Amino acid sequence: MKGIIGKKIGMTSVFESNGKQTACTIIEAGPCMVTQKKTVDTDGYNALQIAFGEAKEKNTPKALLHHFAKANTTPKAIVKEIRNCSIDKQVGEALTCEIFTEGEKVSVIGTTKGKGFQGVVKRHGFAGVGEASHGQHDRQRAPGSIGGSSYPSRVFKGMRMAGRMGGDQVKVKALRIIKVFPDKNYILVAGSVPGHNGSIVLIQN
Looking at residue 69, its pLDDT comes to 94
DSSP H helical segments within 37-171, as ranges?
A: 40-43, 62-70, 120-124
Looking at residue 130, its pLDDT comes to 72
Looking at residue 108, its pLDDT comes to 97
> Running along the chain, 205 residues long, what does each successive block of 10 average in pLDDT?
95 93 95 93 93 94 94 94 89 92 95 97 90 77 88 92 96 96 95 96 94
Cα dihedral 170, 171, 172, 175 in deg (nearest 10) = 140
Q: Are 202 and 108 in contact (CB under 8 A)?
A: yes
Looking at residue 3, its pLDDT comes to 93
Looking at residue 93, its pLDDT comes to 92
Looking at residue 96, its pLDDT comes to 93
Looking at residue 149, its pLDDT comes to 87
Give how far Cα 45 sits from Cα of 62, 68, 139, Å. Answer: 26, 21, 55
Q: Give the Cα-Cα-Cα angle 102, 185, 179 (nearest 5 degrees).
A: 20
Looking at residue 157, its pLDDT comes to 93
Q: How far apart are CA 110 and CA 193, in angstroms?
A: 7
> CB-hemisphere CA count at 13 Å for 51?
22
Looking at residue 173, its pLDDT comes to 96
Give how far Cα 197 sits from Cα of 9, 35, 72, 201, 204, Å. Answer: 5, 26, 30, 11, 19
Nearest in space to 168 (alpha carbons), one of 110, 122, 116: 110
Q: How far apart are CA 78 and CA 80, in angstroms?
A: 7
- Whole-prediction pTM: 0.85
